[in-house]
Structures are given as C-alpha cells and as structure tokens.
C-alpha cells in the first residue's frame, strides 16, 4: 500500500489537489492506466488475444503494487517501469497464467513512463486552467472596483507618478490572460501519446503498429503524434517553460502585495483568517504568509526549469540521464506552480484595501510627484526647459521649507502669470494625472473576457 504522507511542507508551497496528482500512488496508477489501455488497443487489432484483456485490466490497480519493492527494483533497473511490469505480470499470472504472457506487449519502459507523465500533466494543467479562470474573474472584479482609486506608482522603489490601484490589478490580469492563452496552446502540443517501442520504430508490432498506436491514443484521450518522441523533449520543456513563466508572474503579484503590505505603507493586506500570518513571539504581527509561499515557489522554479532544459540534450534514440532528470523536476515544478496559483487565488478576491493609506502615501511628498504635470502645463507658455528649471527650483524650496509644492509654486510670479490658483490645484490633484489608466483597465478586462469566449 502507498502512504499518503509526503513532505511536511507540502501544503505550504503546494495544495492538496496538485499534490495528489503527482503522488507516488498516482504516478504508478497513471502508468498502469497506460498498460491497461495498451492491452485493450492490442487486443482490438489482434495483437494479443481478447481473452487476456480482462485479467490484465483488472490487475492494473496501484493497490496491487508493493511500493517498497517497486522502489528497490527501480534502483536496480534504472526506472520505475521495469519493476512495475514485473509486479504487474505476477499479479496477472496469479489469476490467469495465459494472460500474463501478454502484459506490456510491444511497448518499452519509456512509453509507459512518458505517457503516464502526460496523463498526470493533463490533470495538473486542468487544475491550473480552472484556477486561472477564477483568478481572472477575481482580478476583473478588483480592477473594476478600483479603476478610479488613485495611488502612487513606484519606479526603482521610489515614488514616481500617480496611477490607480485598478491599473495595478489590470496589469496582473493582462499577464494572466496571456498565460491562459499559452495554456490552451500548450495542451494541444504537449498532451500526446508516447509509443515507439525499444528504438522508436514499433518494429515489434509489425503491420499492426500504427493501428494499435491510434487506438491507444484514442483510449487515453491523447493526441497521436506523427512519430515517437523519446529523445525530443521540446514538449516537456515547453510545459516547464509555461509553469516557470506562470510562477514568475504569480511571484510578481506576491512581491507587489507584500511590499504594499509593509507596516510603513499599509495599503493592502492579505485576507485575515484564524491562525494565518501570526508570529510565534510577536502578537501584533500579521505576516504575508501567502505571498511568502508564492515567492518561495518563484525562487525555486527557475532552477527546475533549467534542469528540464538542460536535459533536452539527449543521446541518439534513448537518453542517458537527461530524461531521468525530468522525473522529479517536472512534478516538483508543477506542484509549486499549482500551490503558488492557489495562494494568489486565496488572496486576490478578498484582499483588504486601505484607501486612506493609499491617499496618505500618495500625498507624502506634499505634491512633488505632480511636478511633471505643472511643468508640462507651463511648458506650453514658457518652454519645456525653462518650465523644468522653474518647477525643479520650486520642488527644492518645498523640501527645504517643509511646505507643499502648491505653496511654493503659488508664490512664484512666473507661475501665477500663466496659471491661476484653481488651475494649479487641478494640476496638483493626483486623480487628474493618471493618464490612460482607465482605458488600460478597460482594455485588460476586454482582453480577458475575449479569452473566455
């Protein structure tokens, strides 16, 4: 029997559903599902007797497999399929000695392992697909709700110009929309059968090779590739690339949220929940634990992607090391991505927004961040360079005297000659200098909804 116990940290950076997809039992069951489908497809075309199918299919249950013996056998044989087929054959033989002769007919170990991984990958991508849709819907909601909520934009971690919180949500949304597009394209290319026999020719099945392959693909609901791909790992690498990019985007979102959640800013916060985000020693703490888990995944993911990319350089028709390196890297990467996505999805819909702190932080420079708006307005009258020099001087005076930029500008004769006090106030209102933020929010939402159609 298989233990359901994994690493003690599996639910910090993962989630139960994704962990289950890549569990030891699920891995074995996926390979057994391929063996069962192979028996059905082979019998359909007369390669093995139809009478052998029921016994083989009945035996293809992970509960029939001794996990400890499988691990020991894999260490000796170099992969899981060799000892798995040995155990499966013994189980079938116990009930039907004749049927046992036809277990694993015409396939090679890599066919079973790769196709099993594809089945697991399909389940993992389906989980991501559903969560990406949910995240898109949550981001649309937040972008709409805060389309006109002004906040300070930051470049190089310094205050820059006003933006809106809705625009920040829209930027996240637009990236998620592209990932949903990539995922749809990836599924079409990556979810394919691997079935080539010992050297990728299916010579053992003679003239029945292509019909069996077609039926096997149909049985497993996978695409039938033009030819086997034992050492052509671009499909796996593309899957890893997608997972890595998605995790990077989720890390970007988590970085933004955690920075905005710092005590000194206090602009947003992860949703409160019992036992979440506390400190073992400091009762006042409310830590961004969800963001931390996402950032952990984003830190680990690039090296896992790199491992899979490095493994693409393989030898002739069957690999020596590169293929084997995928066995742990791809599941770990998929689990991390799913966990990061579920953590972001747990934050975004109910994220707490402190509009008072957003407004306070926007005005912390006493209007200096709106200097560009005044400069451009004055530039129409006195030229850009002269306007820049004037506003720069007023900004320095504002800092030196501890006054607002409005006060510094309102005392300047050149400014008042061209701009009234009301005009100056309008120019120094952050809500009036967010550019095309609303249009960009609308565009991101429209793109997201187009993807849903």
* 299 contacts 208 by C-beta, under 8 angstroms: no
Please confirm, yes or no, whether 189 is among the known catalytic residues. no
Angstrom distance (rounded) from CA 95 to CA 169: 60
Q: Tokens in use for 411?
A: 């005392």
Catalytic member of 286, 318, 357, 360 = 318
Angstrom distance (rounded) from CA 48 to CA 50: 6
Cα→Cα distances 8→11, 28, 118, Å = 8, 22, 27
Half-sphere exposure of 212 (CA within 13 A, CB side): 29
Count of helices and strands (H, E) across the chain: 18, 4
Half-sphere exposure of 306 (CA within 13 A, CB side): 5
Please confirm, yes or no, whether 453 is among the known catalytic residues. no
Q: Tokens in use for 392?
A: 């720069």
Q: Tokens in use for 445?
A: 């939402």
∠ at Cα 32 (217, 59), nearest 5°?
120
Catalytic member of 4, 51, 95, 279 = 279
* 151 contacts 159 by C-beta, under 8 angstroms: no
β-strand partners of 353: 268
β-strand partners of 354: none
β-strand partners of 151: 163
Assign 267 to helix, strand or coil: coil
| Residues noted as catalytic | 279, 318
């Amino acid at each position: 029997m298989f233990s359901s116990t994994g690493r003690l940290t599996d639910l910090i950076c993962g989630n139960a559903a994704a962990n289950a997809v890549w569990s030891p039992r699920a891995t074995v069951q996926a390979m057994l599902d391929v063996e069962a489908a192979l028996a059905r497809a082979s019998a359909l075309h007369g390669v093995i007797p139809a009478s052998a199918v029921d016994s083989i299919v009945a035996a293809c249950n992970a509960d029939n497999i001794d996990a400890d013996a499988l691990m020991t056998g894999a260490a000796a044989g170099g992969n899981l399929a060799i000892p798995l087929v040995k155990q499966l054959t013994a189980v079938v033989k116990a009930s039907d000695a004749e049927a046992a002769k036809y277990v694993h007919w015409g396939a090679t170990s890599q066919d079973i392992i790769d196709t099993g991984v594809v089945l697991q990958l399909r389940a993992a991508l389906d989980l991501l697909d559903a969560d990406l849709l949910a995240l898109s819907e949550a981001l649309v909601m937040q972008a709409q709700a805060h389309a006109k909520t002004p906040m300070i934009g930051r470049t190089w971690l310094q205050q820059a110009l006003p933006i809106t919180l809705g625009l920040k949500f829209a930027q996240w949304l637009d990236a998620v929309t592209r990932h949903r597009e990539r995922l749809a394209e990836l599924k079409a290319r990556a979810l394919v059968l691997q079935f080539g026999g010992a050297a990728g020719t299916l010579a053992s099945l003679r003239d029945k090779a292509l019909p069996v392959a077609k039926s096997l693909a149909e049985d497993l609901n996978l695409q039938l590739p033009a030819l086997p791909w034992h050492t052509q790992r671009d499909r796996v690498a593309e899957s890893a690339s997608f997972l890595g990019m998605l995790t990077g985007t989720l890390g970007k979102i988590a970085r933004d949220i955690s920075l905005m959640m710092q005590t000194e800013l206090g602009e947003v916060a992860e949703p409160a929940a019992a036992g979440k985000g506390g400190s073992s020693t400091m009762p006042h703490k409310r830590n961004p634990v969800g963001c931390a888990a996402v950032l952990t995944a984003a830190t680990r993911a690039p090296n896992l992607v790199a491992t899979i990319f490095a493994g693409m350089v393989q030898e002739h028709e069957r690999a020596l090391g590169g293929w084997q390196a995928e066995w742990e890297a791809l599941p770990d990467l998929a689990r991390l991505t799913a966990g990061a996505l579920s953590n972001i999805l747990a934050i975004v819909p109910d994220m707490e927004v402190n509009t008072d702190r957003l407004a306070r932080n926007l005005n912390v420079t006493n209007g200096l961040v709106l200097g560009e708006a005044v400069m451009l307005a004055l530039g129409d009258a006195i030229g850009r360079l002269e306007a820049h020099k004037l506003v720069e001087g007023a900004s320095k005076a504002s800092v030196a005297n501890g006054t607002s930029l409005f006060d510094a500008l309102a005392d300047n004769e050149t400014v008042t000659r061209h701009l009234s006090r009301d005009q100056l106030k309008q120019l120094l209102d952050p809500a009036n200098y967010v550019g095309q933020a609303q249009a960009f929010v609308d565009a991101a939402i429209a793109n997201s909804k187009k993807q849903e159609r």
